[in-house]
Chains A and B, each alone.
Chain A
């Protein structure tokens, strides 16, 4: 009896292993597994990631970070000190999210991974105390924060905490401490929050009642900028309400994966602003704006707050985003400067507000906008990255400073305190005369020279997104 001839096997395409059905920690504040799977590994994000540009290794790329998170979720990697450190190397600048064609939210996935990593770690006594001190004792209480007064201390606390958390990073201490000295700007006499009346009336006819979300670092360090924000608003038919009971937005806690703490802060801020009857809530700190816009998402499972959080977040606008949407008085005073605009990550990538600040600056007579290459690249500030990862942040800053020099601007403008600090440090470290300003300062300066006719809204906020090249 002869055997039937053996069938040659059909040729097959090796499709690899697909996703797992039982990913670890796929719910709650951990990384969203479906979003992890959305990564098609095209590598487009490699072209915009500052840490990849600096190090040239795949673990420092967005694609690599997503792959690490996926391998961890699928049980192919364990949470090692190495893996934990890699999660903290990301700047959370979200440039990759702007460019990713499939909508992978790498920065957010990394924050989710940090949350899991933190919840799984047995916190050492020192680290725990420090974290508790700054994130839970200091930041939620403006009075305590202001009493401690020296914002350096705030930064130190956060920086130290990160350093103690990071394995083996203690050796690096002297460097970062020196770095902090360099970051420390000249401090205003008093925090703005103590000086600013709860309600500042508009100089003309009131059209909007605007709540002002005054960021911790803005009030403590950049009081001058936030003062200018109020001036610009009141010059444009806005009554400005700045409740003294508002607390930290929670951005620093988010960076550390402390989502429960963020929710507590969010609830307090919602309580505070809800009763004011404001039309909008305006922030002149990009990080605060990005964070408060997230409240809706953060509290969506909280029955008592879900709806209120949605209403709150829907009212939040970055100051520039708000201003281009309303009829503005033409600013008349000349501000003869050559200005480079640096996009804060939390504005350009997290909030997708890219052109509004430049649209506003173009209104200012005498102000010349200079071309800044890589204007939407992170400056290396990234929360407290410049302290926790000083060496790395230095290289990222150096790239920014090189571009700034090439722009030949005499003033660099940006709407985020972290960036302002970082750029100031960069300018000072190089002995340059370049002025570092918040955009509202220049606008307010121009308004001091007079306000002309009412302009139609500049609106047309063009979200310039350089993404999605065609496949194949």
Chain B
């Protein structure tokens, strides 16, 4: 990038917030994937006006702009694939308002999800979207990827909590979409257009989010199933019995194996699945839901059912689940985490097919995730230093996508397309829908400066 542009950026922002040294560029070249590509410059704005000035310059000069929150994304979304400007929002991190009457929180994009959770919980409220990356990921990144987490089965994902956004568009115009009200049909629902847009349309500089009163109690059930089919049926039976769990997580046999290799906790290796079910509500409703869930699991063939009604017990049951991701890294140096999403009825079949694909390509593919909503994370463990293995990984990934699409599902439930799944997007979308997306992109960003090369 030309020196004169860097000079101009230095005039727009404080000098120390325009980074150009090789060391600084190196550490803004990655996200939570293994992809890397260096930016030409990194800017760290503090205000919407600064963001607007950067986008005006970039549009005039046709320089790519890549928004970046915490860089925890799992699709390569904030990797500057074509260089240009990385625009880091992490220093715009003020919580502007927590209003318990309107029941909204207004935040800057760099606010960390967990900081927002703490701020609203202090007032007896909660913000349900809880990606596992909540301690590091930003609200801006959550909005741009449409993040969700275990609690979303009951409460919905980020998209269900975004009421209004302030967005800076290419060229530097600032648009406010939506408002503080729950209902609003004046014009198109533009804020939702930006949810999951992965930084390809503009930069979110403020978000108005719904918050809801915090339930008083919580409990957990852990059930061990010798047969996978039974676990799948138990899921549907629980939901059918009128209980909507806060979270409903599965670990398949390979995932249990991986954790056992790491924890040596004496986990049962002969079972095909474990379910972890969290419920919440007021005290007596939790007791009742725990009863229904444990009865249902037993009736559907669970060999062992443990119930935890207090936090310490519940943490103990969750420990195994939390150990999955650390355990994976110790078996193989790399992992490719998939994020497929299928209709609920197809869950058992999808699980079976992933196991078959793992056998076919001789790979370790533990599967775990929020089975209650059909979003699953088969993780292909591999060593990228082994070229033959890389080819098998590619083939297995293709097979998993094909299987998910074949069962009426999609490529990504919550991580986004980014760079990682870009090649696969056409086969998973209706051609006219894809064309419409391209049209929208061209209208909003005619010079294709916003995160070029991503998604499409």
Contacts and interface: CB of A to CB of B under 8 A. Distances in A.
Contact of A15 (B325, B390, B415): B390
B70 interface: yes
Contact of A76 (B26, B335, B385): B26
B354 interface: no
A47 B324 contact: no
B134 interface: yes
B423 A13 contact: yes
B27 A468 contact: no
A470 interface: yes
Nearest to B333: A37
B22 interface: yes
Interface string A53-73: 000111101011001100100
Contacts of B369: 472
B136 interface: yes
A243 B135 CA distance: 47
B276 to A, nearest CB: 10
Given A14-B35, A15-B336, A472-B369, A42 B324 contact: no
Given A10-B398, A44-B136, A469-B132, A57 B72 contact: no
Interface in B85-103: 88, 90-91, 93
A46 B133 contact: no
Given A18-B384, A82-B23, A56 B44 contact: yes
A101 B259 CA distance: 13
Contact of A77 (B23, B36, B135): B23
B135 A469 contact: yes
Contacts of A12: 394, 423
A17 interface: yes
B423 to A, nearest CB: 3
B325 A470 contact: yes
B26 A18 contact: no
- For A18, A58, A71, A472, the residue with the greatest tally of chain B CB atoms inside 10 Å of its CB is A472
Contacts of A469: 132-135, 322
Given A57-B19, A469-B322, A67 B333 contact: no
Contacts of A46: 70, 136
* Contact residues on A (Cβ < 8 Å of other chain), bracket: 35 or more
B307 interface: no
B322 A103 contact: no
Given A44-B135, A468-B322, A470-B324, A15 B419 contact: no
Contacts of B329: 38, 40, 101-103
Nearest to B19: A57
Interface in B38-69: 44
A38 B332 CA distance: 9
B420 A470 contact: no
Contacts of B36: 16-17
B28 interface: yes
A47 B325 contact: no
Contacts of B32: 40-43
B230 to A, nearest CB: 23
B227 interface: no
Given A42-B32, A47-B136, A80 B421 contact: no
B23 A83 contact: yes
A300 interface: no
Interface in B323-350: 323-326, 329-330, 333-337, 339
A86 B326 CA distance: 27
B34 A16 contact: yes
A133 to B, nearest CB: 31
B321 interface: yes
A11 B424 contact: yes
A19 interface: yes
Interface string A305-344: 0000000000000000000000000000000000000000
Interface string B374-394: 000101000111000010011
Nearest to A56: B91
Nearest to A471: B325
Nearest to B385: A18
A103 B26 contact: no
Given A11-B424, A57-B19, A43 B71 contact: yes
A424 to B, nearest CB: 30
Contact of B384 (A15, A43, A57): A15
A56 B424 contact: no
Contacts of A63: 27
A14 B419 contact: yes
A42 B136 contact: yes
Contact of B27 (A16, A21, A68): A68
A86 B24 CA distance: 10
B135 A58 contact: no
B180 to A, nearest CB: 29
B252 interface: no
B76 interface: yes
B326 A102 contact: yes
Contacts of A58: 24, 27-28, 71, 88
A138 to B, nearest CB: 34
Contacts of B249: 470
Nearest to A37: B333
B114 interface: yes
Contact of A16 (B28, B35, B339, B424): B35
B135 A471 contact: no
A77 B397 CA distance: 33
A102 B339 CA distance: 20
A185 B342 CA distance: 65
Given A18-B384, A77-B22, A67 B27 contact: yes
A41 B23 contact: no
A42 B76 contact: no
A47 B135 contact: yes
A111 B17 CA distance: 28
B294 interface: no
B222 to A, nearest CB: 14
Nearest to A34: B333
B21 interface: yes
A68 B30 CA distance: 12
B136 A471 contact: no
B33 interface: yes
Contact of A13 (B21, B91, B323, B420): B420
B394 A43 contact: no
Given A11-B424, A13-B394, A14-B35, A468 B323 contact: yes
A472 B368 CA distance: 9
Nearest to B71: A43
B44 A86 contact: no
Contacts of A37: 333
Contacts of B74: 472
Contacts of B333: 19, 34, 37-38
Interface string A101-122: 1110000000000000000000
A168 to B, nearest CB: 14
A7 to B, nearest CB: 14
- For A41, A57, A58, A102, the residue with the greatest tally of chain B CB atoms inside 10 Å of its CB is A58
B339 A77 contact: no
Contacts of A41: 30-34, 71
A67 B421 contact: no
23 contacts: A13-B393, A13-B421, A13-B423, A15-B336, A15-B390, A16-B34, A19-B385, A41-B32, A41-B33, A46-B70, A47-B112, A58-B24, A59-B27, A77-B22, A101-B329, A103-B329, A103-B330, A468-B326, A469-B134, A470-B132, A470-B249, A472-B132, A472-B325
Given A47-B136, A471-B379, 15 more contacts: A14-B419, A15-B34, A38-B333, A41-B34, A42-B72, A80-B22, A101-B329, A102-B325, A102-B329, A103-B326, A468-B322, A469-B132, A469-B133, A471-B324, A472-B369
Interface of A: 10-19, 21, 34, 37-38, 40-44, 46-47, 56-59, 61, 63-64, 67-68, 71, 76-77, 80, 82-83, 86, 101-103, 468-472
Sorted from nearest, which 8 A-B pairs have the closest CB atoms?
A18-B384, A11-B423, A471-B325, A102-B329, A64-B27, A101-B326, A47-B135, A58-B27
